[in-house]
Amino acid sequence: MPSRPAISLWVEQLQSKGRYTFTRTQAESETKRSFVAAQTALRRLKEQGRIVSPRRGFYVIVPLEYRATASPPASWFIDELMRYLDQPYYVGLLSAAAIHGAAHQQPMVFQVVTSKPTRKMLVGQVAIQFSMSSKVEKMPVTEKQTETGTMRVSTPETTAFDLVRYQAGAAHLSNAATVLAELAERMDAQVLVSIAHLVRLPDVQRLGYLLDAVGEGNLSGPLAKWLDTRRPRAIPLRPGESADVEVDQRWHVLPNEELEVDL
């Protein structure tokens, strides 16, 4: 009869093979332990800081060099975590901008866009914040290599639209404009136009206005021509706040916030 490896040894074997995630079901099955025995062993490993659990039944192995933060970086396990949750996703907003080299300030949280409301996760000292989009599977993404595999990351153009849609996630409009200025050289004007129909019209208006504000008229020009055929109504730059200001005729935006771009 083959021996049953202890769960602690099994976890070490996973790590030696470059695997950093597993489920409770896998632990039970591959070590032939009962639910109670597996739970007891996994709880002990959590108390020792050797594993962390972002969601019930899903575990991440914590290498020795990451014991201080109680978790490896989110990029090590985000793809497997979202597969476990059975939710389409992409890494977005400031996290995506940083991956594309527009890292004016490193984001304090790891930002992910997914298809349903998902509460924020604190994995050790690593915070993962989620935004919801019904178009998560339609927006252009790119596969990026990580230390443990790959993850889906929004393209620069998708990132740009998300920065104006999820203004709270972008920190504030001035920060979004600063990031857009850095991201501009990686964006394609025609790609922006090709995906404009996938986002809300106000997002197109606000993005165009911000691109103009940071001197990226070459990027915003084709988008302005596209917008002209849609007869947009006037909208505030910052949603929900009125101001007695003159509407920008190119984008039909009421500039109700003064931008302070840090270039």
- What is the enclosing helix (H) or strand (E) of 184? none
**CATH class (in words) of the domain with range 7-66:** mainly alpha
99-153 per-position pLDDT tens digit: 999 866 677 899 999 999 999 999 999 999 999 999 999 999 999 999 999 999 9
pTM: 0.91
Q: Rounded distance, CA 28 to CA 213, Å?
A: 57
Ordered by start, the domain boundaries in the chain are 7-66, 74-254
Q: CA distances (Å), 212 to each of 137, 150, 161, 221, 262, in order?
A: 29, 34, 14, 9, 15
Contacts of 65 (CB under 8 A, 6+ apart): none
Q: Give the pair of three-digit tokens for residue 153.
A: 């990351």
pLDDT score for 1: 36
Q: Please give the full DSSP string across 208-256, using - where no structure is assigned.
A: HHHHHHTT-HHHHHHHHHHHHTT-PPPEESSTT-----PPBTTTTEE--
222-260 per-position pLDDT tens digit: 999 999 999 899 999 998 777 678 889 999 999 988 888
Residue 4's pLDDT band (cuts 50, 70, 90): low
67-112 per-position pLDDT tens digit: 999 999 999 999 999 999 999 999 999 999 999 998 666 778 999 9
241 or 199, higher pLDDT: 199
Percent of the chain clearing pLDDT 70 (strictly above) = 96
